[in-house]
Structure 1
Amino acid sequence: MQSKMDTKLVLFLIFSTSMLFLWEAWQKEQRPPSPAPAAQGTATQPSARQNETPVPGEKLASTQPGMDLSSAENAPPAKPGGLLESGEKITVKTDLVSAEIDTAGGDLRRLELLNHPDKEDRNKPFALLESQYDHVYVAQSGMIGEGLPTHKTHYKAESSAYSLAPGQDKVEVRLVAPESDGVQVTKVYTFHRGQYLVDVRFEIANHRAAPIQPFSYFQMLRDSKPPVGSVFMIPTYTGAAIYTEQEKFKKIEFSALDKGNASYPKTADNGWIAMLQQYFLTAWLPKDKSPREYYAKRLGENQYTAGVIVPVGTVEPGKTASVSVPLYAGPEEQSKLSSIAPGLDLTVDYGWLTVLGAPLFWLLSLFHSWTGNWGVAIVLLTMSVKLAFFPLSAAGYRSMAKLRLVTPKLQRLREQHGNDRERMHKAMMDFYKTEKINPMGGCLPILVQIPVFISLYWVLLASVELRNAPFALWIEDLSSPDPYYVLPIIMGISMFIQSKLSPPATDPIQQKVMQIMPFAFSIFFFFFPAGLVLYSLVNNVLSIAQQWQITRMIEGAASATPLSKKR
C-alpha cells in the first residue's frame, strides 16, 4: 500500500506542476476583458473630475495629461493607432534603435530595437513602441499651463530624417511649438550612441512681462495587448510599475485601473514609473531629489497611461528654463538596469520563486561568460544543480533500488492481506522497518527538482538575454519551443528509460499510467521553451546514469549475499 501511496504522490507532484502552467495560461485566455467602469452622467465619457491630474503646488490647469484622450468632445477623428492624430514623420537612426517621432504632439510613436529580432519574423527588428490599428504603445510628453504645448500640439522640425554619423556620440532632434502669448517652447530629443536612454527636454523661453511657473509631464500610453507568446506558457506581466525608495517596487495592474482601486505612491522626490512587458520596458527616470508627482489611469476602452509630472520652476521675464527627463526604452538587460536607475533591475520578474531564480540566472550568466553559448550554460547549470543535490538524490535512488528488489515480497504481502487494508498497511510498515527502506525516499529527487524547474522556467520567460539565444543545429531560440519537437521526443524516451529503472507498480492501473506518462509529458514539453526541455533532458540523463549505477550496486550486493551465506 505504501508503494501505491508513493507512486500516487510522485504522479501528483509531476501532474500538479504541469497543471500549474496550463491552468494559468487557460485562465488568461478565457478571462473576458474588464468592462468599462460606469461613470456618473454618461456611460462612455468620464467626468472632468475623474480625469483630473493633480499638479503639485497649485490648482489643476485647464490642460491635463491624459484627459483629452478620453474626452469625446476633444478627441480627434479616429486614425491609425486609435485616437492618435497624425502629423509629419521624423525618423531617427542610431547604432541601437530606429525611431519615429510624429510632429503631432511630438510623440515617440515607433521604436525598433535593431539588435533584437522580432519574435514572428527574425528578419526585421522588434518594435517596442508602435502605433497601429490593433496596438498602441507610445511615449508622450507636454507642458501644463495656459497656452503651453501638450501632446496634441503640432510641432515643426528642421529635418524629417536624422542619423547618428560615424564618430558622433549623440544626435539631437529639435521640435518647435507655436509661440503662445509670449512663451516659446522647444521639445528636444537626444539619442545616444550605445544606449537605450533618450533624453527628452523642454526649453521654455519667457517673453512675457511677468514670470511663469509651468509644469511638464511625461507619460506612456498603451493598450493592454500582451506581447506575442505561446498560450501554453504562463502569461508574463504586462502593465505599469512604479518604484520609490519608500515603497520600493510596485506593480500597477490594468485591472486595478479598470476598477479604480489602484494603490501607489503619488508624490516623492525619487523613483521612476514604467510600462512593462515580457523582456522589455519603457520608464521615465526623473532626477533623484527633485519633486515629482506620479499618476496612472484608465483613459478609455483598453487605453491606459502612466506618467510623472515635474515642475519647471519659476521662469523670469526674458529668461529661458529647461526641464529634462530621460526615457529608457529597451531590453531588460539585468547587468545594466541597476546602473541606470536604483531599483530598475526589479522589473525583471522571476515570479514567486525569485529567491531561486536570481541566483540561477547569476550562475547561468557566469557559465555563459565562460562558454559564449546559453545552451551550454544551461547544461553546465544542470550539472551543477545535480552535483549540489547528489547526496540527497543518491539516498532517494538507493531507496528506489531497494524497493525494486523487494517488490515481489511486497506483492505477496498485498495478496496475503488484501482483504484487510489495516493489517496490510501494518505488515508493510514492519517490512520497510526490517529492510531499512524509506518508502518516501524515491520522492526526494523529484521534490528537489520541482522548485528548480519552475525557477528556471521563469528565468527563461523573464531574461531577455536568452531571447532568440541559439544553442546548436536547429535550436535557434532557447526561449521558444523546439520547432521540430526533437528535444521533447528524446525527453520522453529518457522518461521511459527512467521508468524501467524505478520499482514496478504492483497495481495494474498504476502500471498503465506509468507507461503512458512518458508519451503524455512529451506532448506537454512540445510547448515548453527549448531551454527548459534541454535542462530537463540533461537532468534526466544524469539521473538515469546515477540511478542505474546505484541500482546495479544494490542488486549486485544483494545477489552476492546468498553466496556468502552458503560458504
Structure 2
Amino acid sequence: MDLYRAFLAIVLSFLILIGYQYFFVKPVPPQPQAPGQATQAASSANQQTAGGAPAAATGIAATPSTVAVDPLAHDVTVDTPLYTAVINEQGGGVKGFVLKSYRSTNAEDAGPMQLIIGKGPADAPVLFSLDNGAGTVLPTYTADKNAVTLTNQGDTGTLTMTAALADGIAIVRTLTFRGDSYLINVEYKVSNTTDRPVQVSPALTMVNEPFAHASETSKYLFAGPAAYVNEKLVETKAKKLTEAPVVLQGKVSWTGYVDNYFMTTVAPAVGNGRTITLQGSEQQVRTVLSEGIQTIGPHEGKSFAYTLYFGPKKLQVLQTAGSDLAKAVDFGWFDVLAKPMLWLLNFFHQFSHNYGVAIILLTILIKLIFWPITQKGMKSMKNMQKLQPKIAKLRERFKDDPAKMNQEMMTLYKTYKVNPVGGCLPMLIQIPFFFALYRVLMAAIELRHAPFMLWINDLSAPDRLWIGFDIPYLHGIPILTLLMGASMYLQQKMTPTTADPTQARIMQFLPIVFTFMFINFASGLVLYWFVNNLLSILQQYLINRQNKA
C-alpha cells in the first residue's frame, strides 16, 4: 500500500507539471499586422533648447505617437553569411532582420526566419534618444554607405551614421558587423558644440512583437521581455505590462525579448547603474534602457556603447557571445542537470548527424547509468509480489490492531530481506533527470525543424502521419505517440504489482492518460519516452526470466 501511494505521488507530480502547461498556459497570441501604430521610442533632442531639461529617468511616454516619415531617409542593407538586416536612416532603427540559417516554418516553401518584419521608423528596435525615449521626432541620420556586404565569415564591416540636432548637438553612430557572429557593436558619440553645458538623458529603445514561428510545443513555454539584472534572470509576462509598467534597476547585463528559440537583446558596454522600463501588452512590448540624466560640458562629448544580439537562443552560440547572454537559456529547477544533457545531445549528434538518433543514444546512456539501481528496484517489487499472500493474511488477522499488524509486517520484511519502498526509491532518484531531459527536449533550438526518419520531419513538433485527408483536431495519426502508449501498457503488464484490485484498475488508465497528454508534445520527447519504455520492458523481461530459472 505504502509503495503504491509513493508511486502515485510521483505520477501525480508529473501530471501536474506537464498538465499545467498543456491545459492552463495560454498560447502566444498571433503577431499583429496593424501598420501605422508607432511607439514613442525616438529622440526629440532636436526639439530641445540647449539648456532645456530632458525627460526624467522614469518619465517615459505611456502611449505611442505618430511620427511623420521622412521621404528622404534611405534604407541601408547589411548582408552577412548569417543574416540580412535593413536599417533606416530616420531614427537609425532596424527595419527588418532575417536569419539565413533558420526557416520561419518547416514547410518546403517556407522563407527564412524573420525576427523583425517591415517596421516603420518609430516602431523599429534600436532607437537612440537623448530624452529617455519620450520624444516624438526622430533624427534623420546620414549613412556613409548604402550597403554593407560581408561575404566570408572572417569579414568585418562598419557603418557610420551622423545626425546634426538642434542647438549644436551632434551624434555619430558607428555599427560594427562580423561575418561569423550575430553580435553587432553599436557606439554613439554625442557631442556638444555649444559654449554652454547641456543636460541629456540617453536611452536605447527596443520595440518587439512575438516572433512569427509559433508551434504546438513552443506556445506552452515562456515568450516575452526578459533581462539579466543584478546577476538574476528576470522574465516578465507581457500580460502583466497591461496593468502597469515594470521598472528594473541595477547592474544590467542585457535586456530584450526572448522566446524558447530566438532572442533580440541589447547589452550595455558597462552594466552598472542602468534602468530598464517595460511597457506594452502581449501584442507589443517596448523596452527602454536608460543611462540616467547626464551633463555634457561645452565643446565636450560622451560615448555610449552597446552590443546587440539578434539570433538563435542556442547555448553554445550564446556562451561564445558573452555578456551573460547564455543565462537566457534557463531550464528552471533542473538547469544544473539539463545543460549537461544538452551537451551530451549535441555530442551524440556530432557522430550520428541525426538528432533523433542522438536522443536514442542519450536515452540508452541514461538507462545504462541507472540500470543497476533500477534492477535492484524491480527485483524488490518482484519479491514484494511474492509476499502478498502472507501480507494479506496478516492484514486479515490483525485488522483490528493496526500497531500489531505493522509490527508483524516489519518482521516479515526483515525475515525475507525485502525493502517495502525498494521499488520506489530508484524511480525517485531518476525523476529529476527525467524532468531535466523533458525541459531540454521541449525547448532546445537544436530540435527545431530537425528531421528523424519516415514521417517525423520535425522533432520539436508533434508527430503526425498524413493519410490523405484531414482528421479533426489531430490532422494526422500520431503513430509514435500511440506506440509510446502501447509500450507503456505492455511495461505495466510485465511489472510486478502489490496493489489491491482498486489501485490496479486505476493504474491501468495511466497509459491512456499519458497517451492523451503526449499527443501535442514534441515528437523528440515522445521518442525518448518510447525508447525508455522499450528498455524498461527489456530489463523487466530479463529479471522475470532470471526468477523463473
Given the two structures, how large is their TM-score scaled by the length of structure 2? 0.79
CA contact (8 A) 2:57 2:290 kept: no
- Residue 286 of structure 1 aligns with an amino acid whose one-letter code is P
| Deviation, structure 1 residue 169 | 1.7
Instruction: Decide whether aligned partners of structure 1 residues 412 and 131 sit closer, same or farther in structure 2, where only a CA change above 3 A counts.
Output: farther
How far does the alpha carbon of each residue in 1:291-317 deviate from its partner, in whole angstroms, 9 at most, with x for none? Answer: 652222325786433343348984764
CA contact (8 A) 1:103 1:155 kept: yes
Question: What is aligned with 1:546?
Answer: 539
**1:243 paired to 2:245:** no
| Deviation, structure 1 residue 152 | 2.8
| Rounded Cα–Cα distance in structure 1 between residues aligned with 2:133 and 2:14 | 58
CA contact (8 A) 1:466 1:479 kept: yes
Partner-residue secondary structure (3-state), 2:509 = helix
* Among 184, 187, 204, the residue aligned to 1:201: 187
CA contact (8 A) 1:66 1:299 kept: no
**1:191 paired to 2:199:** no
* Among 226, 249, 258, the residue aligned to 1:265: 249
CA contact (8 A) 2:450 2:457 kept: yes
Instruction: Decide whether aligned partners of structure 1 residues 200 and 476 sit closer, same or farther in structure 2, where only a CA change above 3 A counts.
Output: same
| Rounded Cα–Cα distance in structure 2 between residues aligned with 1:231 and 1:332 | 16
| Rounded Cα–Cα distance in structure 2 between residues aligned with 1:64 and 1:89 | 31
How many residue pairs get aligned? The number is: 512
CA contact (8 A) 2:223 2:257 kept: no
Partner-residue secondary structure (3-state), 2:202 = strand
* Among 306, 327, 330, the residue aligned to 2:311: 330
Partner-residue secondary structure (3-state), 1:442 = coil
**1:532 paired to 2:519:** no
Instruction: Decide whether aligned partners of structure 1 residues 147 and 418 sit closer, same or farther in structure 2, where only a CA change above 3 A counts.
Output: closer
150-159 or 463-472, larger mean C-alpha shift:
150-159
Partner-residue secondary structure (3-state), 1:221 = strand
CA contact (8 A) 1:130 1:138 kept: no
| Deviation, structure 1 residue 155 | 4.0
- Residue 126 of structure 1 aligns with an amino acid whose one-letter code is M
Consecutive unaligned residues of structure 1, counting only runs of 5 or more, are 33-57, 557-567
How far does the alpha carbon of each residue in 1:370-397 deviate from its partner, in whole angstroms, 9 at most, with x for none? Answer: 4333333322322222222222211111
Partner-residue secondary structure (3-state), 1:29 = coil
**1:97 paired to 2:65:** no
How far does the alpha carbon of each residue in 1:268-312 deviate from its partner, in whole angstroms, 9 at most, with x for none? Answer: 5x7333332212222222223x86522223257864333433489
**1:522 paired to 2:515:** yes
- Within-5 A mapping of 1:132-151: 138-144=124-130
CA contact (8 A) 2:154 2:180 kept: no
Instruction: Decide whether aligned partners of structure 1 residues 440 and 493 sit closer, same or farther in structure 2, where only a CA change above 3 A counts.
Output: same
Partner-residue secondary structure (3-state), 1:472 = coil
Given the two structures, how large is their TM-score scaled by the length of structure 1? 0.76
157-166 or 448-457, larger mean C-alpha shift:
157-166
Instruction: Decide whether aligned partners of structure 1 residues 148 and 477 sit closer, same or farther in structure 2, where only a CA change above 3 A counts.
Output: closer
How far does the alpha carbon of each residue in 1:82-112 deviate from its partner, in whole angstroms, 9 at most, with x for none? Answer: xx99975543322111223234422113212
| Rounded Cα–Cα distance in structure 2 between residues aligned with 1:26 and 1:226 | 22
Partner-residue secondary structure (3-state), 1:527 = coil
Question: What is aligned with 1:7?
Answer: 4
| Rounded Cα–Cα distance in structure 1 between residues aligned with 2:152 and 2:431 | 51
Partner-residue secondary structure (3-state), 1:389 = helix
- Within-5 A mapping of 1:456-467: 456-467=437-448
Identical-pair percentage: 30
CA contact (8 A) 2:54 2:199 kept: no
Question: What is aligned with 2:548?
Answer: 555
**1:23 paired to 2:9:** no
| Deviation, structure 1 residue 467 | 2.4
> How big is the alpha-carbon RMSD for the aligned residues of Structure 1 and Structure 2?
4.1
| Rounded Cα–Cα distance in structure 2 between residues aligned with 1:167 and 1:462 | 28
How far does the alpha carbon of each residue in 1:106-156 deviate from its partner, in whole angstroms, 9 at most, with x for none? Answer: 2113212111222464622222234679xx985222231699998733445
Question: What is aligned with 1:128?
Answer: 115
Question: What is aligned with 2:47?
Answer: none
CA contact (8 A) 1:197 1:327 kept: yes
| Deviation, structure 1 residue 242 | 2.5
* Among 336, 339, 355, the residue aligned to 1:355: 336
| Rounded Cα–Cα distance in structure 2 between residues aligned with 1:301 and 1:546 | 48
Question: What is aligned with 1:559?
Answer: none
| Rounded Cα–Cα distance in structure 1 between residues aligned with 2:58 and 2:103 | 33
| Rounded Cα–Cα distance in structure 1 between residues aligned with 2:191 and 2:253 | 28
| Rounded Cα–Cα distance in structure 2 between residues aligned with 1:441 and 1:291 | 53
- Within-5 A mapping of 1:52-451: 61-62=54-55, 67-68=60-61, 70-71=62-63, 74-76=65-67, 89-119=75-105, 121=107, 123-130=110-117, 138-144=124-130, 152-157=138-143, 162-165=148-151, 169-177=155-163, 179-204=165-190, 207-210=193-196, 214=200, 216-223=202-209, 228-230=214-216, 234-244=220-230, 247-254=231-238, 257-258=241-242, 260=244, 262=246, 264-266=248-250, 268=251, 271-288=253-270, 293-298=274-279, 303-310=284-291, 314=296, 317=299, 322-410=303-391, 416-417=396-397, 420=400, 422=402, 428-451=409-432
| Deviation, structure 1 residue 327 | 0.7
How far does the alpha carbon of each residue in 1:33-74 deviate from its partner, in whole angstroms, 9 at most, with x for none? Answer: xxxxxxxxxxxxxxxxxxxxxxxxx99515989834x347x5
* Among 474, 478, 485, the residue aligned to 1:492: 485
| Rounded Cα–Cα distance in structure 2 between residues aligned with 1:199 and 1:537 | 46
Partner-residue secondary structure (3-state), 1:474 = coil
| Deviation, structure 1 residue 341 | 2.5
| Rounded Cα–Cα distance in structure 2 between residues aligned with 1:301 and 1:424 | 60
CA contact (8 A) 1:364 1:378 kept: yes
